[in-house]
Amino acid sequence: MTLDIQFKLKSNPNYIKYLRENSYWYKILTRDPSMYKEFVNEVKVNYKLRPIDKINDALSTIEMLQSIMSTMK
């Protein structure tokens, strides 16, 4: 694995955690460092770090608050 990839991985705790949970990525990143973007995308999808996931979380919170407010009426 290149030093550049190692520094990028160590700079983000989510990457380290995901790499430990899915160790097959060690082999992939060692053999083909260009797969780093795929790795980052997979981490974002699995840990729900994409902007759309954050919007969905906010919307579900708003819906929950609306349902609580409607039951209090």
Give 3-57 pLDDT, tens digit per residue: 999 999 999 999 999 999 999 999 999 999 999 999 999 999 999 999 998 999 9
Model pLDDT, residue 73: 77
Q: CA-based angle 18:54:17, to the nearest 5?
A: 10
Distances (CA, A) of 7 to 10, 52, 58, 64: 5, 27, 32, 41
CA distance 67 to 61: 10
Against a cut of 0.85, is the pTM above it? no
- Count the Cβ atoms, other than its own, within 10 Å of residue 48: 11
Model pLDDT, residue 21: 96
How long, in residues, is the chain?
Answer: 73
